[in-house]
Amino acid sequence: MSQSTKTPGLLAPLGNPGFSMLWGANTLSLTAFWMTEVACAWQMRVMTDADPLLVASVYTVLQLPIMFLVIPAGVIADLSDRRRGMMWTHAWLALSLGVLFWLTWTGRITPLSLLVCLPLISVGLSMRMPAIAALIPDMVQTEQIPAAVSLNNVAQNGSRLVGPALAGAIIAGLGVAAVLALNTAIMALIVLLFLFMRYRPEQGDPAAKPQGFLAAVKEGVLFAALTPWKRNILIRLSIFFACAAAVPALMAVRFDNSETYGIMYGCFGAGSLLGVLVIARLGYRRLNNRLNGGLVVGAVCIMLFGVVDEPLQAGPLLACIGASWLFCLNSIMVAAQMQLEPAIRGRGLSFIYTLGTASLAGGGLIWGAVARAAGPGVALIASGACLLLALAATYRLSISAPGGAPAATSG
């Protein structure tokens, strides 16, 4: 694939039919996920009289299994047909959501059964995360990868805007079961989209292919441990997510009704979507500066969110938090996807997802416990302060490889 001296526009990757279908399927899948998260958190709030720790545990239980499964999922993504894997993964998600829908619709749902069912959904999420991310560079030309990553961010954050707001409206009108029924149907539709998707995987060096599952895991661990820029990415991502996890984990207990909760979650997604558009105009250079700036803005806004709880004040703050979240995550993912070799891309991304989800899960539970003891406002202020302190200790850790690689994104 040829390199171009001109940076492709944000929409250029959509000219590839395979990427267009992948992007559409990913957008639907992510929308269903955000709707499911909102529906389950609200169901737990209703069943437990808004207990902060139990509501936060929904977020933790959704994230925690990913920590253990996403590295094997990354190995599978490197060793197998990624498109076919996505078909089976979304079939599993349709089945899991169908079970949760049946329990809710028949009135058999309890806090315990909800927490038992959520890991089934996490299994599917674990399998899809590295495979979707590894598929992106296979679908576009090399110079289009940063734009494709940003479009993936558009899908993630556009769905975060639409999904929670839609879920809140459906819950208010039809109940949680209706949200779960719709999401089950969406996952079944995605299976068909992957069935007909055009896919020609990029062929890396055959000698770089691992000879077995355990050998592939070992190779990925060594790569993460011995590569400085990779270590820095893992350190900075895990610190950010551990602190920022307080926002999604505690949002359901900050507002009084499902519609407001959905709209506020939508403000978070709207800010992220705006962040994508800003990045598209700024370009993909100076990733380290962009990451540091996003962390500063995010930390300050999280602390302010701990002080206010009126929707008119909280909405703009959540939008700023969403934009900073996007700046941080986009910087890290562009650096990773431009620098990882095709033969190890699935495993390399899986390590990022593992530490990221472990940090989200652990951070959500910790801040939930702090909120139960001292109140959600105090927990949010403390999480923002911790993020600022962590930034002061790690801002010199570079996420770019020496020598300016990747050439288009060094900073």
Question: Could you write out the three-class secondary structure of the chain?
Answer: CCCCCCCCCCCHHHHCHHHHHHHHHHHHHHHHHHHHHHHHHHHHHHHHCCCHHHHHHHHHHHHHHHHHHHHHHHHHHHHCCHHHHHHHHHHHHHHHHHHHHHHHHCCCCCHHHHHHHHHHHHHHHHHHHHHHHHHHHHHCCHHHHHHHHHHHHHHHHHHHHHHHHHHHHHHHHCCHHHHHHHHHHHHHHHHHHHHCCCCCCCCCCHHHCCCCHHHHHHHHHHHHHHCHHHHHHHHHHHHHHHHHCHHHHHHHHCCCCHHHHHHHHHHHHHHHHHHHHHHHHHCCCCHHHHHHHHHHHHHHHHHHHHHCCCHHHHHHHHHHHHHHHHHHHHHHHHHHHHHCCHHHHHHHHHHHHHHHHHHHHHHHHHHHHHHHHHCHHHHHHHHHHHHHHHHHHHCCCCCCCHHHCCCCCCC
What is the rounded CA–CA span in Å between residue 43 and residue 41? Answer: 5
Residues 6 or more apart from 119 whose CB is under 8 A from it?
61, 64, 65
Tell me: the pLDDT tens digits for 60-83?
888 777 777 877 877 777 777 778
What is the rounded CA–CA span in Å between residue 205 and residue 78? Answer: 12
- Which is more confident, 309 or 225? 309
Tell me: the pLDDT tens digits for 116-175?
999 999 888 888 877 887 787 778 777 777 788 778 877 877 787 788 888 888 998 899
Tokens 């926002």 -> residue = 247
Instruction: Give the predicted TM-score (pTM) of the model.
Output: 0.67
pLDDT at 409: 35
Residue percentage of the chain with pLDDT more than 70: 84
Give the phi and the psi of residue 337 in degrees, each rounded to 5. -70, -25
pLDDT at 410: 34
Per domain, the residue ranges of the chain are 13-199+213-404
- Which is more confident, 365 or 138? 365
pLDDT at 387: 94
CB count in 10 Å sphere of residue 1: 11
What is the pLDDT averaged over residues 196-201? 68
Q: Which CATH number does 13-199+213-404 carry?
A: 1.20.1250.20
Tell me: the pLDDT tens digits for 12-41?
888 888 888 888 888 999 899 989 988 998
What is the rounded CA–CA span in Å between residue 209 and residue 203? Answer: 10
What is the rounded CA–CA span in Å between residue 34 and residue 44? Answer: 15
Tell me: the pLDDT tens digits for 305-317?
999 878 889 999 9
Q: Which two tokens stand for residue 403?
A: 């020598």
pLDDT at 403: 53
What is the pLDDT averaged over residues 193-212? 61
Is 80 exceeded by the pLDDT of residue 104?
A: yes
Out of 61-65, 84-88, 110-114, 220-224, which region has the weakest mean confidence (pLDDT)? 220-224
